[in-house]
Amino acid sequence: MERILLGLLFLSECVILSTCFPYQYHFADQSLTWTEAQTYCRQKHTDLVSIRNSEELNQLINMLSSAGHSSEVWIGLFKEFDWKWSDGFNGTGAEYRNWETNQPGSISELYVLIGGFGRWWDNVETNVYPCVCYTGTQLNPRYVLVNQYMTWPNAQRFCRENFTDLATVRNDAENQAVTSVAQKAAWIGLFRGPNFYWSDESSFLFTNWQSGENQISSTTDMCGVTSLQNSGQWKFSSCETKLPFVCYKPAVVWRQVVKLRLKMEDSLTLNDPVLRANIMKMLQDRLKENRVSGVTLKWRGQPVEEETQTLG
């Protein structure tokens, strides 16, 4: 057994040298819009780069540092600002907006208020305001002020339980009618979804947002940038801006096969399944101790003398 253990120590040291990153990143030093960069990456590589964990973030930072590029680059992040009405209205006038200057605001503000002068701005879920509900039908609404301070989701629930829904505003006349009823800041029915996306449809769990407000203005789409200057943190920019970008593709996986010939004492045989299981467990334990992952172990016998087998 001592010779077996020595062989296992040798094998674990060899395997440690074969680990690698699962993806290769390519820095494209040409300025394209986000959509043009996406097309380029899909044709030449796999897609615009996705960042799903801190290891991939560090890999991207190191790659940009090696390329000597510190300013902004496109990554695969994007957001569709899909403003919708609470009652589901999507007919004529559903696209009507009366935003205040520099509104909508930041990416964290999902719900819309109307002010005393009829201008709109977005706000976060945790803030509380009165709300304007309506009764009747979508095409013939009657607006009602609910002078209770509540969050937008609670206001939506209240309006649906006691009236028809939060107010939908389709034109200047309806906007003036809602303003007259509200007389001060109040929730209306406009909102948007919170979701962000990666170009390759990877799950969006890991985040690395740049601190401070990220203004989204009145655009319908925004695309993600990062930079070495900001330590790889993300923010949104207009998708029509022309920037360099980073693509990715799966890394070439180098398969390293290490064979170990084990010669047994007369009292032992590698045909014993219990002995084989113990050897494989010792090897797995050694790999785990050395923090080695992504390694597949297989037992493969060879038609040699009975007392000799190969572990590959």
253 vs 31, residue with greater confidence? 31
Residue spans of beta strands (DSSP E) within the chain? 23-32, 47-48, 73-80, 84-85, 111-114, 120-123, 129-136, 141-150, 165-166, 186-191, 197-198, 221-226, 234-237, 243-250, 260-263, 308-311
Q: Residue 158: enclosing H or E segment and its boundaries?
A: helix 152-162
User: Mean pLDDT, to the nearest integer, of 259-283?
Assistant: 69
| Residue 83, both tokens | 């403003």
Whether 291 has a pLDDT exceeding 80, the answer reads no
pLDDT of residue 254: 54
Q: What is the domain partition of the chain in residue ranges?
A: 2-19+254-311, 23-79+197-250, 84-191
Please tell me the predicted confidence (pLDDT) of residue 259: 61
Report pTM: 0.64
Confidence of residue 71 (pLDDT cuts 50, 70, 90): very high
Structure confidence by residue, pLDDT tens digits, 149-194:
999 999 999 999 999 999 999 999 999 999 999 989 999 999 998 8
**What's the fold here for domain 23-79+197-250?**
Mannose-Binding Protein A; Chain A (3.10.100)
